[in-house]
Structure 1
Amino acid sequence: MTINSKFTRYEDNNNIWLSQEREQGFNFTDHGITPTVLSSEAEVGQAMLNELYSTVKSKEGDINIALLGGRGAQELHRLLGELAKSSQQDDLLARLNVFTQDALAPLSMDNSFSFVRDFERILGDAFFKKIKSFTPMRTDTKDIESALVEYLTKLEELGGLDIFFIGHGPEENQASHLAYIKPFSGAQSHHIAGIIPISSTILEHHISKFKAGGSLVNESDEKECRSAEYILTLGPAAILQAKKIVQSVVDADSAPSKIKTYANVLNTQLSSNKEEAVLQLNTNPGLWIRLHPNTKSFVLPNLGL
């Protein structure tokens, strides 16, 4: 596999991580999380849209966002899809550079279990016609690493993410993942993206999440999805360098383990000792969100907070 000179490649226990050549120093300051409990998924979607509106007001030119897959942002996507059918926010949509944040691979881009198809289903044709650009992680190529470098190069050239819309995924031992940064995958603060071997538990979670979210799925797509070998994911550097993090957790009813895993992230303070903090983050990557100074976390009462 080739690697662009702008990125450095690390391999750790079959996990491949890419870093920008000009690594940015990072301050390990624990900012904690202050969740905002809203009464419905519709309110969470509106709150997320309001965060986009506030970024649009405070910045000129392009707005770069990473879409969240699965249930977490479906209401936001429905709202954006409705706006795209009208002309009231055409100026905003024309400024949007939209990126995906994770993917299973290898997987054909039109597989019903791919995030791209789910985005197309909910956001609708009008949205994709009106935005400035859409850059998914390619999952249908033999050279996944080079395709990921192309994706990262575009993200870097556009100046990084203005908003990283992010979720919260449950893991064993009351740990969690952000994007698809898995426990013990060796992700560090300078890693911008990674390629991680897939586990059967992740595949099961992914498939059940898509079915619960209302995706129109079929047997052959499910079979292809179950044969995926890797997870492509943005890494901690992409999270930490984003200008704003907007988290949503809305599906604790169908994924009840999130009640404990979210509480764990909320209540675990990161050690002031950097080496200990690195160990905590590797054990429970959901904690990376605590290191971002500009985070909103929108949740429902079913998290039991």
Structure 2
Amino acid sequence: MTTQNAVFQRYINNDNVWLAKSTPQENLLTDHGITPCVLASEDEVGQAMLQELYATAAEKTGDINIALLGGRGGQALHKLLGELAKGSEQDDLLARLNVFTQDALAPMGMNNGLSFVRDFERILGSAFFDKIKSFTPMQTDLDDLESGLIDYLNKLEALGGLDIFFIGHGPEENQASHLAYIKPFSGAQSHHVAGLIPISSSILEHHISKFKAGGSQISASDEAECRKAQYILTLGPAAILQAKKVVQSVVDADSAPAKVATYANVLNSEISSDLGTDKQQALAQLNANPGLWIRLHANCKSFVLPNLNV
């Protein structure tokens, strides 16, 4: 499968389709652990995330490529960015931003109120999108979703990859979790850049309830269309591991109490210590609980609230 910029190989695992470069970059699987930073409020988490953006802007010249976090975890940051965009103090920074989404439900109209794109527009505001350099969402309304995803990956690759992957933590059964929408037992491996994952009714219920809890106004027709979605488009482990910085936020344990146990599992687990000889064991751990992928990134911040009980 070729595009003008890259060649991708497809990997199929129980109907999950993963894409990887035909000459993938080697990702060393080293468990760096995770050290949560407990902050007093959601607003403080948003400020901490913004400070990470400022730090990246100070450390490099030129464009800054970020993956926005959908749902509750990113809303405090998005409100701050929206307010900044209404003024002019940070116009130079905003003009350097290439903004990407990291996951999406498909097929679904791009104007659906349950699309992350619409939620970003609602909170970030029109001034933000007018001032940034580019915005690249995952296309959810194409006949060929896979080709659209490859076009998205080619643009991200051409711009040099992610400087910051703003990421969350999603609860799963058996005290497991997902990152972006890398689901347990979906077969994701370290060289997989992105994937198309069959959807389940439980995912749809979680997605819809998360948007409603976040304050989105959703029509009956939008919800009906969303419930017909068949796939999740998501960035994969390679996109996480190759990002220059990962910034995690977990702020909604009150409305999603399962996160108390599932985050604790990621925090307290250890990935197989000898990844040279026990790589298959490590991959099995990561496949069962994809939330563990974050432990393999050497430059990761995890901002949480006291309600996570860590």
Question: Tell me, what secondary structure is at the counterpart of 1:191?
Answer: coil
**How does 1:40-189 map onto structure 2 within 5 Å?**
40-189=41-190
Q: Verify the 8 A CA contact 1:38 1:299 in the aligned structure 2.
A: yes
Q: Secondary structure at the match of 2:280?
A: helix
Deviation at 1:26, TM superposition (A): 1.7
> Retained in 2: the 8 A contact 1:3–1:149?
no
Deviation of 1:75 (Å): 0.5
Deviations, residues 115-140 of structure 1 (Å, cap 9, x unaligned): 00000000000000000000000000
Give the partner amino acid of 1:193. A
CA deviations over 1:217-256 (Å, ceiling 9, x no partner): 1111000000000000000000000000000000000000
Cross-structure match for 1:283: 288
Q: Give deviations 1:13-40, integer Å, cap 9, x for gaps.
A: 1000000122111211100000000000
The 3-state SS of whatever aligns with 1:203 is helix
Residues 102 and 137 of structure 1 are in contact (CA less than 8 Å); yes or no, is this contact kept in structure 2? yes
Identity among equivalent pairs (%): 75
Q: Point out the more displaced range, 5-14 or 126-135.
A: 5-14
**1:3 and 1:146 in contact (8 A); partners too:** no
Deviation at 1:276, TM superposition (A): 0.4
Equivalent residues, number:
304
- Separation in 2, partners of 1:165, 1:6: 27
State how far apart, in whole Å, the 2-side matches of 1:238 and 1:213 are.
Answer: 26
SS of residue paired to 2:23: coil
What amino acid does structure 2 have at the position aligned with 1:72?
A: G
- Show structure 1 runs of 4+ deviating over 2 A: 2-5
Q: 1:303 aligns with which of 281, 304, 308?
A: 308
Q: Which moved more, 1:106-115 or 1:16-25?
A: 16-25
* Deviation (angstroms), 1:3: 5.2
Query: Residue 304 of structure 1: CA displacement?
Result: 0.8
User: 1-side partners of 2:240 and 2:118: how far apart?
Assistant: 24
Alpha-carbon contact 2:27-2:238 (below 8 Å) kept: no
User: Aligned to 2:181, what secondary structure does the other structure show?
Assistant: coil
* TM-score where L is the length of structure 1: 0.99
Q: C-alpha root-mean-square deviation of aligned residues, in Å?
A: 0.7
Equivalence for 2:257: 256
Letter in 2 for 1:282: N
Alignment-derived partner of residue 35 in structure 1: 36
Partner of 1:215: helix, strand, or coil? coil
Unaligned runs of 5+ in 2: none
**One-letter amino acid matched to 1:303:** L
In 1, Cα distance between equivalents of 2:135 and 2:211: 21
SS at match of 2:193: strand
Q: How far off is 1:11 after superposition?
A: 1.0
CA contact (8 A) 1:66 1:164 kept: yes
Q: Give TM-score scaled by structure 2 length.
A: 0.97
Q: What is the Cα deviation at residue 8 of structure 1? A: 1.0
- Secondary structure of the 1:149 match is helix
Deviation at 1:142, TM superposition (A): 0.8
The 1-side partners of 2:157 and 2:21 are apart by 9
Give deviations 1:132-175, integer Å, cap 9, x for gaps. 00000000011000000000000000000000000000000000
Aligned partners of 2:27, 2:84: CA distance in 1, in Å?
38
Aligned partner of 1:26 in structure 2 is 27
